[in-house]
Structure formats: structure tokens, C-alpha cells
């Protein structure tokens, strides 16, 4: 029997606010443990939470970006469970009445378009962080307690690890475009849990699901889903049954491992938060949110194709990061030649940038320097090949392209008489090859080009070399 996977993702995105969800403690990351705390963060008796308005605005911005349905009225709830990193014994979240219901995120996988539906987006506060020592002792850092989160819950619309990773990447890109989260999975500001089940292909009823946790990179998510789908398929093919449970991804072992059983889907005893009023989202908040939504990736890619005549592939690469898209447009504004700029960015610039979401701002070569370098190629001052070497020096030093060209003596030779002189010398030194070319072996032409370029240390204008070589060989015949 052939089985198919059904995948839904629950993503927690930490918001880039200056203060926490319900108090004014700082959200700065990686400080000394338990510095950014107050009676509200650590759940002391008698304190009252006060909602951070910016959290609501950010939630609405994301909802607008996915064409969701923003609730004019939503309610906070207490999510009750006991764990050492949860000082109150409950987490303030939203349950029956979240701030947003519905929405879609479109993805492309292997050339096929797919819309992944969203079930909800809701506001939630983060828990603290447990820290375990080798001697068996554990400590709790409450700096993260109360940090604002958006939980984005998809419908079970994905059927492969590729689709799940594409969806998560697209969601992360949206968060970064909006500027409401840094999307750093390694630091835990973007965390993903996956609900996975398998069923006979063609069936409509969902199978028993497992929840996967502890996946902090796209690669781990793909590997964990791959493994879990195969594990469940093997169990069913052997006549076994899937147990609903939470499983952790063990990267060292390359397997998922059972963490705890979860017989009931909802075991948190939600009830309305008595210390917070009903959240009313008015027109003022909606207008503020709308003003904060920039041109989004899909719309930008479509514009790049129409306005600049770029292929779909180029547009998709350039708009995967807002900073990269801005860099491209700024360079095009100075140089023109959109395709030339696009080609250079994709073939040269991105070789030096490990993470396009964080590396563009700190990249040493500015958009205007890139435009000036490409202008030197266009003007015939340097060849494209030499430009690549100059660019490497620009990346290393941050120096201007024209300065480097002069310092290194790399100006392209475009003087016809100087090139002709070199050509005549090459022809004189290689009579055998000249005879081969004139007898019809045109492949030998590349040999002459190479010899001329070698003699000029790569400085000769390639176009002029080709033109003059053909003309000279014909004339001398």
C-alpha cells in the first residue's frame, strides 16, 4: 500500500519589540541571566499585566500580509501547565478568540505553486529558559519570560518535507520584510513544531499524528520530517499502530525519539485571563499596521519581472531578502542595466555572503561601488574577468573600484594599434597554428585569443582582440 504524509506546522516567532508583552522589561538578547526581569515576569502575587500595544500592531501587520481575517474583538486566555521555566504556572496566550483567523502563504516547490492555509495567528508570551549543567544541576533564566510571540498555526496542507521547508522559509521572509522579527532560528526567536501523520494515498481521513520538537534549522526540520514519515510508514506496513505523542529530533542519532505521550489534543485547561480586558482592535491600530506593511516579496518579484524585464528565477532570488532587493534597485538606479546588475549580484556578490538576511547590511561593498565597478566594465576600462579580481579586493578592503584598478595597474588595453602590435607578434611566433587556421581549423582561433590575452596579462579588450584577430588573420592570408 502506498502512503502519503500530512504535515502542519506551528511556528512561534519572537517579536522585535523593545519591551516584553505585559511589562516594560527589556527584550535584549544574551544578557546575564535574570537581569531583564520584574515582578510581572516572574509571576509574583498581586501584579497585573499591561498589554504592549506594539505587539498588537505587529500581529495585525502579519495578518494583513497573509490576507487573514483580523478579529475586531479577541480574548486572552491562561494556558495552564506546570514546568520549572513557567513561574506563574500558566502562560498568557489566546485560545477560542485569537487576533487572526485564516490566511494563506503561497509557496513554490519544484516548479509547482501551492497555497498553504493558516488556521490562526495569536499572541502569546514566552516562557523562561532552562539551563542544564554537566553535573546534573539546572537553572532557570527568566530573561526570556514574557517576551512577545506570535504563534502561526497552519492547516495540515503540506505533504512533503520540501513543502514544509518552503512554507517556513516563506513565512520567515515575510517576518523579515515586515521587520517584526529577526527570524533567528539558532537563537530561538523562530521556533517550529511539526504535526505529522501518514495515511493511505487517496484517503481523506487524517491519520494519528505525532508532534515533532527540537528542530532549530531548515536542514534539521527536513531531516526530522523525512525520518518521521518513514518511521510511521514502516510501523503501518508492519501492521502496527501510531501512538499520538510528542517526539524530539535527535540530530546526533539522526532519529526522532519519544518525549511524552499526549492522549488528548488539548490538555491545558484554557480559561479567559481575568486580569486583561477584551482586546478591541480599532481603526487606529489597523491604519498603523497597514502603514507598516511594505511591498511584499511576491508583489516585488512580479514588479521586478515587469519593470526590469528580469527572468522569474532572478526575481525570486533577489526578492528572497528585502535588503538584497533594495541593494539591487539602488544599483540599477545608478547604472541602469538591470540584468547586468542581477547577474553580478547572483554570480559574484552572493558568493561572499553566507546569510542574505543578515549579511547585506554589513557587506563591505556598497550598491554604488558595485554600480561603479560594472560601469568600468561597460566603459571598457577593465574586462569582466579582471573585474572579478577587483571585486574580491573590494570585498576584502572596502576600497573603491577605480582606486583598486589604478593601484593594481589593471586598466584594460583598448588602443587598437597596441593590440594589433601584440597580435602581429603572436602570429609571427606561431606559423604552424596560423597555417592550421587558414586551412579551415577554426578551433585554433581560441589559441590565438589566449596567446594575446596572455601577452597582455589579461588586459586587452576581449571584443577588440577577437575582431582584430579575425581581420588580421584574413588580411595576412
242-257 pLDDT per residue, tens: 999 999 999 899 999 9
Rounded percentage of the chain residues whose pLDDT exceeds 90: 70
Sign of the torsion formed by the C-alpha atoms of 80, 83, 89 and 90: negative
The confidence score (pLDDT) of residue 262 equals 58
For the chain, domains (ranges, CATH) are 3-289 (no CATH), 295-407 (no CATH), 416-476 (1.10.10.410)
Count CA atoms within 13 Å of residue 269 on its CB side. Answer: 5
CA distance 152 to 103: 10
* Residue 320 near residue 337, CB atoms below 8 Å: no
DSSP H helical ranges for 66-156:
none
pLDDT tops 70 at residue 477: no
CA distance 472 to 467: 9
Question: Which residues are bridge partners to 212 per DSSP?
Answer: 194, 247
* Mean per-residue pLDDT, 271-296: 96
Nearest to 400, CA basis, from 378, 377, 368: 368
* Mean per-residue pLDDT, 147-165: 97
Please, which pLDDT band fits residue 450 given cuts at 50, 70 and 90? confident
C-beta neighbour count of 436 within 10 angstroms: 15
* Mean per-residue pLDDT, 82-111: 93
Q: pLDDT per residue over 214-229, tens digit each?
A: 888 999 999 999 999 9
* pLDDT top residue among 434 and 334: 334
Q: pLDDT per residue over 302-343, tens digit each?
A: 999 999 999 999 999 999 999 999 999 999 999 999 999 999
Nearest to 178, CA basis, from 273, 346, 286, 297: 297
Distances (CA, A) of 262 to 10, 85, 247, 266, 328: 16, 20, 10, 9, 49
Average pLDDT over the chain reads 91
pLDDT tops 90 at residue 30: no
* Mean per-residue pLDDT, 6-20: 97
The confidence score (pLDDT) of residue 265 equals 45
**CB burial readout 67-91, b (16+ within 10 A) else e:** ebebbeebbbbbbeeeeebbbbebb
Q: pLDDT per residue over 349-391, tens digit each?
A: 999 998 777 778 889 999 999 999 999 998 888 888 889 999 9
Concatenate the DSSP letters of all residues of 452-467 into one string. HHHHTTT-B-HHHHHH
> Which helix or strand (DSSP H or E) is residue 138 part of?
strand 138-141
The whole-model pTM stands at: 0.85
The confidence score (pLDDT) of residue 107 equals 94
Question: Which residues are bridge partners to 14 per DSSP?
Answer: 149
Q: pLDDT per residue over 402-431, tens digit each?
A: 899 888 877 767 767 888 888 888 888 888
CA distance 6 to 387: 49
Amino acid at each position: 500500500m502506498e502512503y502519503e504524509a500530512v504535515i502542519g506546522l506551528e511556528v512561534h516567532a519572537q517579536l522585535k519589540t523593545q519591551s516584553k508583552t505585559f511589562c516594560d522589561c527589556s527584550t535584549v538578547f544574551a544578557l546575564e541571566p535574570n537581569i531583564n526581569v520584574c515582578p510581572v515576569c516572574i509571576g509574583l502575587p498581586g501584579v497585573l499585566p499591561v498589554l504592549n500595544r506594539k505587539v498588537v500592531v505587529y500581529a495585525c501587520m502579519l495578518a494583513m500580509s497573509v490576507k487573514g481575517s483580523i478579529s475586531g474583538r479577541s480574548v486572552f486566555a491562561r494556558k495552564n501547565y506546570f514546568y520549572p521555566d513557567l513561574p506563574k504556572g500558566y502562560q498568557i496566550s489566546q485560545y477560542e478568540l485569537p487576533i487572526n483567523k485564516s490566511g494563506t502563504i503561497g509557496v513554490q516547490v519544484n516548479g509547482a505553486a501551492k497555497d498553504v492555509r493558516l488556521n490562526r495567528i495569536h499572541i502569546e508570551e514566552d516562557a523562561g529558559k532552562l539551563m542544564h549543567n554537566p553535573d546534573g544541576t539546572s537553572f532557570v533564566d527568566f530573561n526570556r519570560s514574557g517576551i512577545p510571540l506570535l504563534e502561526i498555526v497552519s492547516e495540515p496542507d503540506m505533504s512533503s518535507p520540501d513543502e514544509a521547508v518552503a512554507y517556513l522559509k516563506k513565512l520567515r521572509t515575510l517576518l523579515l520584510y515586515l521587520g517584526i522579527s529577526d527570524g533567528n532560528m539558532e537563537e530561538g526567536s523562530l521556533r517550529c513544531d511539526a504535526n505529522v501523520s501518514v495515511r493511505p494515498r487517496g484517503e481523506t481521513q487524517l491519520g494519528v499524528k505525532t508532534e515533532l520538537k527540537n528542530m532549530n534549522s531548515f536542514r534539521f526540520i527536513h531531516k526530522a520530517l523525512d525520518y518521521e514519515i518513514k518511521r510511521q510508514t514502516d510501523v503501518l506496513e508492519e501492521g502496527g499502530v501510531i501512538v499520538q505523542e510528542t517526539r524530539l529530533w535527535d540530530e546526533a542519532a539522526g532519529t526522532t525519539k519519544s518525549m511524552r505521550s499526549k492522549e488528548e489534543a488539548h490538555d491545558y485547561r484554557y480559561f479567559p485571563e481575568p486580569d486583561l480586558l477584551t482586546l478591541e482592535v480599532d481603526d487606529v491600530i489597523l491604519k498603523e499596521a497597514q502603514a507598516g506593511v511594505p511591498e511584499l516579496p511576491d508583489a516585488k518579484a512580479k514588479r521586478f519581472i515587469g519593470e526590469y524585464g528580469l527572468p522569474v528565477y532572478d526575481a525570486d532570488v533577489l526578492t528572497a531578502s528585502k535588503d538584497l532587493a533594495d541593494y539591487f534597485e539602488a544599483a540599477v538606479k545608478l547604472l541602469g542595466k538591470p540584468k547586468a546588475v542581477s547577474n553580478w549580484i547572483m554570480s559574484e556578490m552572493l558568493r561572499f555572503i553566507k546569510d542574505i538576511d543578515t549579511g547585506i547590511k554589513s557587506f563591505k561593498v556598497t550598491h554604488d561601488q558595485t554600480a561603479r565597478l560594472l560601469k568600468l566594465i561597460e566603459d571598457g576600462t577593465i574586462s569582466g574577468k579582471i573585474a572579478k579580481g577587483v571585486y574580491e579586493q573590494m570585498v576584502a578592503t572596502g576600497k573603491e573600484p577605480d582606486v583598486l584598478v589604478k593601484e593594481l595597474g589593471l586598466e584594460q588595453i583598448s588602443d587598437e594599434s597596441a593590440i594589433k602590435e601584440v597580435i602581429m607578434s603572436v602570429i609571427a611566433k606561431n606559423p604552424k597554428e596560423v597555417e592550421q587556421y587558414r586551412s579551415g581549423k577554426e578551433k585554433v582561433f581560441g589559441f590565438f585569443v589566449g596567446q594575446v590575452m596572455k601577452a597582455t596579462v589579461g588586459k586587452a579588450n576581449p571584443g577588440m582582440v577577437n575582431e582584430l584577430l579575425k581581420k588580421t588573420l584574413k588580411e595576412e592570408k
